[in-house]
Structure 1
């Protein structure tokens, strides 16, 4: 009997390779997408972690300023502590390297070469000889303007390398290399770096190596509890940078993985449809095996073994394809995937056997879930009736109360908060809503067809189509379940992306009111090194054709060591409701307090409650003072605004108050209103000439943009970031249509005798095909309506719950009706066509002969 079962299954795979290949491909795509996303992100995180350890070394503790830099006088105090074995001072500067080939972002690290080898050996400068016959100058690491480049920065090496500081270009000499990995990095002597960038007396961090036997946690607590401990300093264990990027990118990685599982989810429905077709075609063979002694349980196990085979093949192929896709993406995109978290890194593929097993098991599980119901149908086949062609595919009716319960529980879960920044409850809510909606299909189909039936009572062919669908509503629900699953997810993703894009477009319209924008630094880390001087800003405002100029200062603020810095923007805020895309109305600022306007991410990540004072900003501001200590102030959260540019958070403050508190009159961005906006290109040349006249030498390095150019660039980046989403939509729809074709093929094969009877009653072959096509149109129309409705419900969860909990920004719900209508019409047309094509093979002479088989 075992050999007979093996032969039975093998013949099915052998004679119908294309049909089974569809199910294998569905599982393969789902596993490949999910596994490739995992490998890409895991490889990028691993590379970033290695680079962070290489640059940061392995100290026991790191002392950092909350604003980024602090007075170096603290170094002597730390070095003299009896518990400290070594203290290594570090100055980190973000800048741009200027070569004849162009401009490139570069991180400069100033170190004490006498100590750094013991704390961060990868940062130890390694001098090289100036020529073949020149000896190595081992004192070059102490000389001014000497830099040592890591492998990523080696392409910058040359005789004309310059580093940007403010509006000046400082020539430097490449004297050697360092082993540190990661993005482009240049190491200098700390004194030389302070002099080059005007940071005399400032440090970014102090790395502490403690003596043997000293308890790190007790030592840190004793230091921070001292009455004279500066409030603007943080003492933490190494790894904050890795923790920050991990926390910031976690939501992005999880969302990509969930989107990748869409293909696996719909793939389970395709396995279901393919095996339904297989069981329908072999119904009489199963019945014969039952007569020969094969029990229903063994028939169930037989179909499950077939679904297991499909799952194993699909998962194995998916792991291989996912690995290839990940390697290709890392080569072409550098592990970025549109998120912007790992820009500048080129990670190597880090294959994980355990991850491969887990994702492969998910693919097998999806195939087994898809094969469970066809297996149950094979188990329930009555042998005697099926041998006579009267059994068919039995689908047991069920109560719709379970569906209602799933929908209610899914709705309730939308109110649950995120867990560690991940909307776990929201994702579970989406799953329950989908399952509840799909299981409610028989009730919905019956409800709608009961309303349609009176309209077709006098038309024979439509009456046959609608009557069968009414009385076989469970079967109809099975046939369109794949359509509903794939279409609802496609609709939800379409609405989410359209809502996000439309919200970003409106946001750009509000934040780009000027005619021309000029930027000194593209990255937040370089804002304190690359800037416009007050003299340049005043001269630019006096240029002919400039009607109004507003300068903006951007400063990074470290409010929590475990989170990335927020961006403090000092700008004109005389009318916040007009200057910022506020969520709601601004609150009146109490007398004696300074109003600040925080982005939604600051509210979620830093508990900045509107209408309350924001205490963490006070100590940070005191470290921003250019000379002396800034005056104490109370900062009142007067409003919340949307900022789609910075996921880590943004705080806006009036520029006048910022300058009064800090004395910092520098600027990073200029917004210019022109007398004639058409003069923007001419004014760009004048600003470049002005920079040259003031002796800066960087006239060609300033970045210009008009509102139209910035908007087009931003939307292009948006579309590129969501390209994977668009592709996943297409995969989901394609898999759903495969399911429609397989389902209708299964139904047609099970109804060969029915078609033969209709032919004996006088219906022509064309009329029989019309009946089936009308059934396909009716079923897929119901599936499209159900998928559209369910997709709209899921889209509300994605827009109103998942995105705010994942990325800490809100958006307005926008329904692209034309796109949604096109999706629904395409599904209905495809379903009708596949039903008609499936019927052609079973509605001919063989159907008539099928009726005579029992004569």
Structure 2
């Protein structure tokens, strides 16, 4: 009992150090919990939406670029006897009057839906089936969605669909069976098939046909029979294949976020280690006395570990609550990034799951316990005879320094070997990088000593005798300053690594856009999500653009998605002039030879991410279903493309027209006369076509700026994580400096009594913190650059399939040194203020 009372009294007598440790753990746990909650909320929203739209569907019948012909569905039910089938049209529209809120629009046949989806309108339900089928633009939504939109029954809603204003008339409410289904149906509007065809401007076409197929061999026999009846270009897929593909798109993105969030927790572990080490060092006399009174080593060990767990538990609980708060802010950033890069996703609420909270608790307590093991071992193994001798601690630290340096070098070599293992595993890459960070952290105290000794002449010339004292104090307290410096080095190095990676990526994307975008003006349409592509541009609009004064030439393009031998793939159909083709960055091969194959043979070119994810290279073949059956296309070349980490196939438009009965266009490139101003013409075209269709006009420069703005939004969450890691390190340095000043309070009091003024004490403490900051900034440079190289050359390649140019921005390196200096300088203000105001007589009292 006396042992535990002694430990509890120590915690009460040092509230600041304990509070700093609690805050450090809390911040680390909060980042991990926030990222996990944001990711899981996005996953849950997507999964619930997919499940609600899928219902009991087992398979889907999909078509070519324009969807499935309605006649196939009629044959399916009337001639081939597939009664368990339901037509579906999917897309989305926006509400301009309400800040562009996006609605999911789903067209169904209520007479076929009964066996498929539980929320679907049913004959004899709570609405008038005849009104739903006959009233133009009739729609259903949940009561909550209607309330959020300020919409009442029988009122109309103006929605922009495929660039045109459309009217939806609310004739009834959907009644979800449970809360999960209600969340999945938020911002969803159900309309009749004919209304959906009118909304999306398609005639006798469907997005897909849902099927319910019996399980087992009988069902498989039925599928084989149906496949034999289907025309070319129409296929049957498992109902969950599309959802799995879309979920897979975000996997690498979410793994990267989770790994970066763990970095803050790693820095927090250093903080706990430093706090517990200090508590052990300060109580060595107490431990010696307890040992002489009969307390065993195991009891001392258990006490220190229990104290650490208590501190960690407090920090973990606080961190979980902070994580929930932080997740609410990060959720919108993560969702926006998914919408920018992958697919449309509506996430209305944060989903706080016990699993995510449990992860935070286990990580917080586990990290705290692991960080406390070494200090607890030190406390337990110390003999009563040497416990009162403070110098033995630093002597042992100097003896262990070469061992730590050697282990650090070994871990760095091990991590480099792990990075060179031929694998596509993202987890292995991050594990190797964390081993690298650990190795460098063990290496840091030795490098810190080396650097301080080289800085001693400079410190003495700048601060005189106080500078020399500062260097000696830091070297003499290496057991405390070494760990604090390591934590700051790791946090600043992470800032350098991620900063250089983002800057290299941005520079590469900017150069790629300047090379890739050759037209003067780009025209496209709002994506409707109907079928696989964007809304088509009417032929009359193209004719009017061709006759516009100042337009010299127009190239046509089409964005599609279809099943290939490699699974769901994005297909880009384009007319590419030879001059524009020469601007492509091909990974290998002669561009002239690739161009000849692309334009004259059954050949396509594929982007680098597509080639990486599917293990394809120049000379391989891809089988693509066409309107005239499956065809094999040779890969003429692999080019760099940063528009999508999923990758895409690019096909020459004349070759596409040969195999597909599809003449639609959803993007145009306008080449202007030499003296024509692109920005002026864009403004003119926007006014000319304002009432025709919601077309999007970009000048070359405007499209490049919009693309880079999307890029910057993508990495907003990464910047938040970088700053949180720095904040944790700042708390760690502050805690270490506070510990140093408290332990040295009697020494400083003697100096004060000997004539050291409060101003000189300020200069001494601030010079110490400044030296820690400068040294940490310099030591962070090598690790930061190595981390950047790992992120660029290994992790980004394995995650997304991109290769990028390395840009070592001197500004980022200088900012990192300045950041470390400012963090350490600010951390020293409070300890300096406190010690300068403490009377020497009070500080010299031992008991």
Q: How far 1:788 sits from its partner (Å)?
A: 1.7
CA contact (8 A) 1:503 1:811 kept: yes
What is the CA-CA distance between 1:538 and the residue it aligns to?
A: 2.4
3-state secondary structure, aligned to 1:705:
strand
- Report the counterpart of residue 87 of structure 1 in structure 2: 84
Distance in 2 separating the partners of 1:355 and 1:686: 51
Point out the more displaced range, 469-478 or 599-608: 469-478
Counterparts of 1:234-633 in structure 2, within 5 Å, are 234-327=235-328, 335-336=335-336, 340=340, 341=342, 343-387=344-388, 390-392=391-393, 395=397, 396-399=400-403, 400-416=405-421, 423-448=426-451, 465-466=470-471, 476-522=481-527, 525=530, 530-559=535-564, 565-583=569-587, 586-587=590-591, 588-589=593-594, 593-609=601-617, 611-617=618-624, 619=625, 622-623=626-627, 629=628
**Cα displacement (A) at 1:546:** 2.1
| TM-aligned CA deviation for residue 452 of structure 1 | 5.6
Q: Distance in 2 between matches of 1:529 and 1:392?
A: 70
Deviations 1:562-589 (A, max 9, x none): 75x4142423242355443544565524
Tell whether the 8 Å contact from 2:339 to 2:345 is kept in structure 1 after alignment. Answer: no
| Preserved CA contact (<8 Å) 1:52 1:241 | no
**C-alpha contact (below 8 Å) 2:565/2:622 kept by paired residues:** no
Q: How far 1:108 sits from its partner (Å)?
A: 4.5
Query: Structure 1 residue 501: deviation in Å?
Result: 2.4
Indicate the SS of the match to 1:310. Answer: helix
Report the 3-state secondary structure (helix = DSSP H, G, I; strand = E; otherwise coil) of the residue aligned with 2:564.
coil
The superposition leaves residues 246-275 of structure 1 with CA deviations (integer Å, 9 ceiling, x where unpaired) of 211112222222222222111111122222
Determine the structure 2 residue equivalent to 1:132: none
* Conservation of the 8 A alpha-carbon contact between 1:516 and 1:672: yes
- Give yes or no for contact 1:537–1:551 (8 Å, CA) kept in 2: no
Q: CA deviation at 1:476?
A: 4.5
SS of the equivalent of 1:634 reads strand
- Give 1:539 shift: 2.0
Q: Which of these residues, 638, 648, 651, is aligned with residue 649 of structure 2? A: 651
| Equivalent residue in structure 2 for 1:821, among 811, 814, 825 | 814
Cα distance in 1 for partners of 2:560, 2:740 equals 66
Contact 1:643–1:650 (8 Å) recurs in 2: no
Deviation, 1:679, is 6.2
Residue 668 of structure 1 corresponds to: 666
Match of 1:11 in 2: 9
User: 303-312 vs 573-582, which deviates more?
Assistant: 573-582
After superposition, the Cα gap between the structure-2 partners of 1:741 and 1:301, relative to the gap in structure 1 and judged at 3 Å, is same
Larger deviation: 147-156 or 597-606? 147-156
Q: Once structures 1 and 2 are overlaid, which stretch shifts more, 460-469 or 239-248? A: 460-469
Q: Tell me, yes or no, if the aligned pair for 1:243 and 1:562 is still in contact at 8 Å.
A: no
**2-side partners of 1:179 and 1:555: how far apart?**
35
Deviation at 1:543, TM superposition (A): 0.8
Give the Cα–Cα distance (whole angstroms) in 2 for the partners of residues 601 and 471 of structure 1.
Answer: 53
SS in 2 for 1:280: helix
For the 8 Å contact 1:593–1:633, the answer to whether it is kept is no
Q: How far 1:309 moved relative to its partner?
A: 0.7
CA distance in 2 between counterparts of 1:144 and 1:318 reads 54
Summarize the Cα distance change of 1:184–1:698 in structure 2 as closer, same or farther, 3 Å threshold: farther
Equivalent position of 1:698 in the other structure: 692
- Deviation of 1:784 (Å): 2.1
Take 1:746 and 1:68, find their aligned partners in 2: how far apart are those partners? 69
Task: Give the 5 Å matches for 1:55-74.
Answer: 55-65=53-63, 67=65, 69-74=67-72
Contact (CA 8 Å) 1:252, 1:339: kept in 2 or not? Answer: no
Contact 1:397 1:474 in 2 (8 A): no
Aligned match for 1:793, one of 773, 781, 786: 786
Secondary structure at the counterpart of residue 649 of structure 1 = coil
Q: Which TM-score applies when normalising by structure 1?
A: 0.84
> Is 1:150 matched up with 2:141?
yes
Which secondary structure does the structure 2 equivalent of 1:798 belong to? helix
Aligned mates of 2:7, 2:789 — CA distance in 1: 44
Q: Are residues 546 and 270 of structure 1, via their aligned partners in 2, closer, same or farther at CA, if it must alter by over 3 Å?
A: same
Asked if 2 retains the 8 angstrom alpha-carbon contact of 1:426 and 1:802, the reply is: yes
Asked if structure 2 preserves the Cα contact closer than 8 Å seen for 1:573 and 1:653, the reply is no
In structure 2, how many angstroms separate the alpha carbons of the residues matched to 1:380 and 1:388? 15
User: Which residue does the alignment assign to 2:110?
Assistant: 113
CA distance in 2 between partners of 1:852 and 1:29 (Å): 36
Q: Does 1:31 align with 2:29?
A: yes
| SS of residue matched to 1:575 | helix
Change (3 A) 1:616 1:730: same
- Provide the rounded CA distance (Å) in 1 between the counterparts of 2:239 and 2:125: 31
On the 8 A contact 1:270/1:482 being kept in 2, the answer is yes
SS at match of 2:211: strand
Unaligned runs of 5+ in 1: 130-135, 624-628
Q: Aligned pair in 2 of structure 1 residues 637, 92: CA closer, same or farther (>3 Å)?
A: farther
* 1-structure distance, mates of 2:823, 2:103: 53
Contact 1:97–1:164 (8 Å) recurs in 2:
yes
Q: Work out whether residues 276 and 746 of structure 1, in 8 Å CA contact, stay in contact via their aligned partners in 2.
A: no
2:640 maps to which residue? Answer: 641
- 2:119 alignment partner in structure 1: 122
Structure 1 residue 417, shift from structure 2 partner:
5.4
Q: Deviations over 1:170-216 (max 9, x none)?
A: 76755545557446544444456557756555443332223587654
Contact 2:524–2:667, Cα closer than 8 Å, also in 1 = yes
Q: Distance in 2 between matches of 1:314 and 1:102?
A: 40
How many matched pairs?
A: 822
SS in 2 for 1:115: coil
Asked whether the equivalents of residues 125 and 177 of structure 1 are also in contact (C-alpha less than 8 Å), the reply is: no
* Cross-structure match for 1:626: none
8 Å contact from structure 1 (residues 614, 637) kept in 2: no
Greater alpha carbon shift after TM alignment, 730-739 vs 390-399: 390-399
CA displacement at 1:537 relative to structure 2:
1.1
| TM superposition shift of 1:434 | 0.4
Question: Contact between 2:481 and 2:736, CA under 8 Å: does it hold in 1?
Answer: no
Q: Structure 2 vs 1, CA of residues 168 and 746 (structure 1 numbering), >3 Å: closer, same or farther?
A: closer
Query: Cα distance, 1:361 vs. partner?
Result: 1.1
Quote the offset at 1:633 in angstroms: 6.3
Q: Do 1:62 and 1:235's aligned partners in 2 also have CA atoms closer than 8 Å?
A: yes
Alpha-carbon distance in 2 for matches of 1:474, 1:409: 26
Q: Say if 1:147 and 1:186, in contact at 8 Å, map to a contact too.
A: no
Residue aligned with 1:53, SS: helix
